[in-house]
Structure 1
Amino acid sequence: MHPSGKLKPGSYEEFLEQFSVTVPENFNFAYDFLDAEAAQDPTRPAMVHVDDAGNRRDLDLAFFSNESSRLAEGLAKRGIGPGDTVLIMLYRRVEWWITVLALHKLGAAAIPGPHLLTPKDIEFRVECAKAKAIICEDGLAAKADEARPNSPSLSLLVSVGEAEPPAGWTRYDDVRADGTDDFVYTRPDGRRPGGSDLLYIFFTSGTTGMPKMVTHTHTYPLGHLTTGMYWHDLRPGDLHLTLSDTGWGKSVWGKFYGQLLAGACIFTWDFRGKFTPDALLEILAAHKITSFCAPPTVYRFLVREEVTSYDLSSLRHCTTAGELLNSSVFESWKLSTGMDIYEGYGQTETCLQLVTFPFMEPKPGSIGKPAPGWDIVLLDDNCDPCPPGVEGEICIRLGEGRNLGLFTGYLNEPEKTATVVHDGFYHTGDKAWADEDGYYWFMGRNDDLIKSSGYRIGPFEVETALVSHPAVVEAAVTGVPDPVRGQAVKATLVLAQGYEPSEELTKDIQDHVKKVTAPYKYPRVVDYVDELPKTISGKIKRAEIRERDEQAG
């Protein structure tokens, strides 16, 4: 588990043979790793934080160890303890990490919430998870306060920032001031929180319905050892930036556990509002970022900039996840930087399942091979394994106990859990196929697949072809009813600056798709929009496009 023990395999097969993780009894990341490491090496860099105004702070392990203990004790004095659930709505400010660590120390479960939640969203989450407290930005307190009358479980409201909080709220600084650096929480039976205790409740982004409540325990952080140490290829002293909002699970993938376990330093850019690609490139250059992870959409915007005009000489490793990476973007980025982009795949319910590690040859568009500890099987509609080249559902074979990092279920919804965990497998609901070399190729959610004239068409393969056209910035591909084909392929497109919708452009885009992929996949229907409907985590809501088409039809 210590960074000095990082393996240096020569191949994927060698890595599978060598890799193992020992799970300490009653493991608690805050006590057993953070506090322990801080005691041994208090000044080890833990985070570089750059705020929206460009101010930089360099923070060490001792800072997070002491501050999380102070806050934990302050919260304990206000009634927060083991088994309680706390909704956190903070930007990428340092207090987010301190708060999560403090809850780890108390045995309370963190519920990360995006800052774009509405009062109704907040009310829904508080009610479903029976949240006892909300800790949020001062600028979001008014929204949270609107949810209070219909949220009887709430007993503590904490505001972070300089603004005067609403009546009945407590300032974060006042809570922190009631604690001490050496606070350790123990239960009446003398046991510290950890192990199988509830650690997180993640609300999924809800692309096909209401969000689900995904639960993880204290062993979950160890599942991200492969994320930081091997997929992000981190070494002691590295500076890693994952571009992610703290309201979603991706932040704990890329801005927390695996990075610290690898001995690296987390880089946090606390920008407010939408990022601009030139500002991101300037951040990468000015702060000498060594390892970088972002969703494919971000890379699509970056490659349209003059990347070579920025000094990215410190950057040596790039990764992506969240949506499929288009091969044209992969090639453009490599042309500009000389670096490959290594893809990974997982879900809120899991850690890294499929991955291209740096000791593997990346195949543009492939999500890689199974990560160690994950027995991945592609199953057909009859739950039989699929041979190479045949699409199936990505499923995880469940062995003794649980895969390290796999969710424990959907909170208070055993029936919903049973729809995805049964017959010895966890069914992801995602479709893929594997090639002869064992690399997996993502096709999309079960609901997203298009059935046209006997063909099954994955939206990502058509979207990949579409965004390789210079006029297309973003694309969403869905199926629409067709009396002859059953379904026809429809493309909903966002155009690049300088392009306007026209019949000529539509024909050019259709011809382009026919050239770069199988002709039967080309979009027979093309719609132009200013922006695509997305979840607040940034994923395209294809279901919403389908619903609009049904209503219009």
Structure 2
Amino acid sequence: MKLLFKLQTLKSLWTLKPPNRTFHGHSRLLASDVYSQYEPVRRGEQQIPKYFNFASDVLDKWSEIEKAGKRPTNPAFWWINGKGEEVKWSFEELGFLSRKVANALTKVCGLQKGDRIVVILPRIPEWWLVNVACMRAGIVLIPGISQLSAKDILYRLQASKAACIITDDTLAPAVDSVASECQFLKSKLIVSKGSREGWLNFTDLYNNQSADHSCVKTRIQDSMTIFFTSGTTGSPKMTEHSQGSLGFRPLLSERYWLDLTPSDVMWNTSDTGWIMASLGSVFDPWVFGSCIFIHSSPVLFVYSCMLLVWPNRFKYCLLFFNSLGGEPLNPEVMAQWKSKTGVDIHEVYGQTETGVICSVFKGMKIKPGSMGKAAPFYDVQIIDKNANILPPGQQGEIAVRSKPIRPLGLFSEYVDNPKKTAETERGDFYVTGDKATMDEDGYFQFIGRDDDIIISSGYRIGPFEVESALIEHPAVAEAAVVSSPDALRGEVVKAFVVLSPTFSAGDLESLTHELQEHVKKTTAPYKYPRKVEFVQELPKTVTGKIKRNELRNKEWGRM
């Protein structure tokens, strides 16, 4: 069961390689490609530009190269849904359609540079069109996963002051139930084959627009995307990334992080609400002019499923390179994958705030259980509580040097939360909150979180959100939520519940189910406590704070 859990909970990233590794006689580093044009910046011969826009400076440049016949006939975007439907766009077509969407957002919805838009869509082509259109218009994109509840959506709309939301039929009712409480929300766009009262149909809207649109001029530090990330206390934080941290960063990274060329196809299975979708399904592949492949299935493709169907279901392509984020893989899993596919697994590590900061690059020695070495342009160290760098083999906190020069890939700030932003700095470092060790060769070994975040099946869950939902139920007086070991998911949410004195305890099994359903309806369904234990009291400090660490240590057998 441990093997099954490791396989089924890791978010995975695959690069699909065709057999032919050359194009028109060019070497792997094509002298004319967009990435190669920034070589002087990577060598330090030129400064990072003051202005940058991924749509005009990368995507449109690839469109020009494509039209000149200097790029393979690979599509820029390739989508299927398993039901016979397929979408393929060249860079030129992507540009044409995204300009129409940009005009729809600006001319019809009235959005301007710097305005914020919440986008909650599954893996459908429209998500990519909105991403590129927002780049062109300078609109700040706020992605969300499709499992958000009405309460989650309300919080995001209110906290972000978003002027527009785009979603589909599934979540439109939830949006309607809270829209009246969102004073800044001016437009609602729905991706649907039909119509809905109070909503603009996304497809009809952009189809009626001109494709004549001039990309706005954006500074490299201008806000580009805001990700909501769960914290240990309080509500999710708004993690802001700039044009530079998302769009220009891959131009500074070494090519062999993904080992991509314009001939290649990239398949990333991350949910569209996560930063890995932006990194692996937008910026990093398109920097190299590669094709982004998307399967619309809502089920997360996992290593166990791949192993079960390999090779019968995947004869149409060659799986060349794998990388993943999450807990380190068991060596047995890596060996099984290698024996089944003939391909090594290359692990990566990063956060919403940092992007990928450690990786096992192509050609590096693989140490099972290690997440590799520091990525180029990052000085990653293991430090103690006083920001002292620890020697090899000693456990500490993963940190990225942020002073005197802050790496371009780091997030800008937690929006409207300077206190939390300041708490991420310790001495000259940004601290991740994750514990690890580093060996004498510079390889990092992940140990675990240094806070109360619960990572279950790849989802990050803040205990405060679940506790708040539980306390709303009349039977609950107090609640504490921690992680609990689980063979399938690695860890799951467990709730310790103190019943209200006015509540007459009856069938606790029935009450457990009732509380679980209550949490599913109050917050995102994946956050519900899979385990519930009723207790007389919760361990607390002298100031009344719940000692979650005691409960967590008990669950994990550390007491």
TM bracket, shorter-chain basis: 0.7 to 0.9
Instruction: Tell me how large the CA RMSD over aligned residues is.
Output: 3.7
1:168 equivalent in structure 2: 198
User: What is the distance in 2 between the residues matched to 1:431 and 1:495?
Assistant: 20
2:39 equivalent in structure 1: none
Q: Answer whether contact 1:228 1:234 (CA < 8 A) is retained.
A: no
User: What is the distance in 1 between the residues matched to 2:172 and 2:452?
Assistant: 37
- Whether 1:351 aligns to 2:355 is yes
Q: Answer whether contact 2:359 2:373 (CA < 8 A) is retained.
A: yes
User: Aligned pair in 2 of structure 1 residues 359, 50: CA closer, same or farther (>3 Å)?
Assistant: same
1:50 equivalent in structure 2: 80
Q: Answer whether contact 1:138 1:163 (CA < 8 A) is retained.
A: no
1:39 equivalent in structure 2: 64
Q: Answer whether contact 1:228 1:259 (CA < 8 A) is retained.
A: no
User: What is the distance in 1 between the residues matched to 2:224 and 2:49?
Assistant: 16
Task: Give the C-alpha shift of residue 102 in structure 1.
Answer: 0.9
Q: Answer whether contact 1:230 1:358 (CA < 8 A) is retained.
A: yes
Letter of the 2:380 counterpart: I
2:267 equivalent in structure 1: 241
Q: Answer whether contact 1:207 1:539 (CA < 8 A) is retained.
A: no
Name which of 258, 265, 271 aligns with 2:284: 258
Deviation digits for residues 219-238 of structure 1 (CA, Å, limit 9, x no counterpart) = 12222347794222212211
Output aligned runs, 1:341-490, within 5 Å: 341-447=345-451
Deviation digits for residues 278-337 of structure 1 (CA, Å, limit 9, x no counterpart) = xx6xxxxxxxxxxxxxxxxx224433x153444556221111113322222111100111
Task: Give the C-alpha shift of residue 400 in structure 1.
Answer: 4.4
User: What is the distance in 2 between the residues matched to 1:495 and 1:75?
Assistant: 40
Q: Answer whether contact 2:253 2:376 (CA < 8 A) is retained.
A: no
- Whether 1:184 aligns to 2:210 is no
2:185 equivalent in structure 1: 154
Q: Answer whether contact 1:133 1:154 (CA < 8 A) is retained.
A: yes
Q: Answer whether contact 1:346 1:352 (CA < 8 A) is retained.
A: yes
User: Aligned pair in 2 of structure 1 residues 541, 401: CA closer, same or farther (>3 Å)?
Assistant: farther
User: What is the distance in 2 between the residues matched to 1:391 and 1:412?
Assistant: 33
- Whether 1:62 aligns to 2:92 is yes
Per the normalisation by structure 2, the TM-score is 0.72
Name which of 285, 288, 294 aligns with 1:268: 294
Name which of 24, 32, 38 aligns with 2:49: 24
Deviation digits for residues 476-499 of structure 1 (CA, Å, limit 9, x no counterpart) = 9xxxxxxxxxxxx97433499xxx
Deviation digits for residues 229-263 of structure 1 (CA, Å, limit 9, x no counterpart) = 42222122111101111111110111111101112
User: What is the distance in 2 between the residues matched to 1:169 and 1:211?
Assistant: 27
1:510 equivalent in structure 2: none
User: What is the distance in 1 between the residues matched to 2:148 and 2:272?
Assistant: 13
Q: Answer whether contact 2:387 2:428 (CA < 8 A) is retained.
A: no
Q: Answer whether contact 2:150 2:174 (CA < 8 A) is retained.
A: yes
- Whether 1:307 aligns to 2:310 is yes
User: Aligned pair in 2 of structure 1 residues 21, 161: CA closer, same or farther (>3 Å)?
Assistant: farther
Q: Answer whether contact 1:227 1:254 (CA < 8 A) is retained.
A: no
Identity %: 34
Output aligned runs, 1:220-239, within 5 Å: 220-225=246-251, 229-239=255-265
Q: Answer whether contact 2:337 2:343 (CA < 8 A) is retained.
A: yes
Q: Answer whether contact 2:166 2:190 (CA < 8 A) is retained.
A: yes
Q: Answer whether contact 2:79 2:294 (CA < 8 A) is retained.
A: yes
User: What is the distance in 2 between the residues matched to 1:59 and 1:65?
Assistant: 9
Letter of the 2:63 counterpart: A
Q: Answer whether contact 1:138 1:160 (CA < 8 A) is retained.
A: yes
Output aligned runs, 1:102-113, within 5 Å: 102-113=133-144
User: Aligned pair in 2 of structure 1 residues 448, 214: CA closer, same or farther (>3 Å)?
Assistant: closer
The runs of 5 or more residues in structure 1 that have no matched partner are 8-16, 187-191, 281-297, 450-458, 468-475, 477-488, 497-530
- Whether 1:197 aligns to 2:201 is no
2:344 equivalent in structure 1: 340
Deviation digits for residues 436-461 of structure 1 (CA, Å, limit 9, x no counterpart) = 21100001111369xxxxxxxxx99x
Per the normalisation by structure 1, the TM-score is 0.73
2:238 equivalent in structure 1: 213
Task: Give the C-alpha shift of residue 171 in structure 1.
Answer: 1.1
Letter of the 1:215 counterpart: E
Name which of 334, 354, 359 aligns with 1:330: 334
Q: Answer whether contact 1:324 1:442 (CA < 8 A) is retained.
A: yes
Q: Answer whether contact 2:254 2:376 (CA < 8 A) is retained.
A: no
User: Aligned pair in 2 of structure 1 residues 257, 145: CA closer, same or farther (>3 Å)?
Assistant: same
User: Aligned pair in 2 of structure 1 residues 72, 490: CA closer, same or farther (>3 Å)?
Assistant: closer
Deviation digits for residues 520-539 of structure 1 (CA, Å, limit 9, x no counterpart) = xxxxxxxxxxx9x9997989
Q: Secondary structure at the match of 2:170?
A: helix
Stretch moving more, 534-543 or 125-134: 534-543
User: Aligned pair in 2 of structure 1 residues 82, 94: CA closer, same or farther (>3 Å)?
Assistant: same
User: What is the distance in 1 between the residues matched to 2:400 and 2:530?
Assistant: 25
Letter of the 2:79 counterpart: H
Letter of the 1:70 counterpart: K
Task: Give the C-alpha shift of residue 45 in structure 1.
Answer: 1.7
Task: Give the C-alpha shift of residue 178 in structure 1.
Answer: 4.3
User: What is the distance in 2 between the residues matched to 1:492 and 1:415?
Assistant: 34
Name which of 63, 68, 73 aligns with 2:103: 73
User: What is the distance in 2 between the residues matched to 1:105 and 1:548?
Assistant: 46
Q: Secondary structure at the match of 1:162?
A: coil
Larger relative contact order (C-alpha < 8 A, sep ≥ 6)? Answer: 2
Q: Answer whether contact 2:437 2:446 (CA < 8 A) is retained.
A: yes
User: Aligned pair in 2 of structure 1 residues 412, 353: CA closer, same or farther (>3 Å)?
Assistant: same
Task: Give the C-alpha shift of residue 53 in structure 1.
Answer: 1.6
User: What is the distance in 2 between the residues matched to 1:75 and 1:269?
Assistant: 26
Letter of the 2:174 counterpart: K
User: What is the distance in 2 between the residues matched to 1:311 and 1:352?
Assistant: 28
User: What is the distance in 2 between the residues matched to 1:6 and 1:202?
Assistant: 34
Q: Answer whether contact 2:164 2:185 (CA < 8 A) is retained.
A: yes
Q: Answer whether contact 2:387 2:429 (CA < 8 A) is retained.
A: no
Q: Secondary structure at the match of 1:176?
A: helix
User: What is the distance in 1 between the residues matched to 2:528 and 2:177?
Assistant: 29
The alignment of Structure 1 onto Structure 2 pairs a total of residues equal to 446
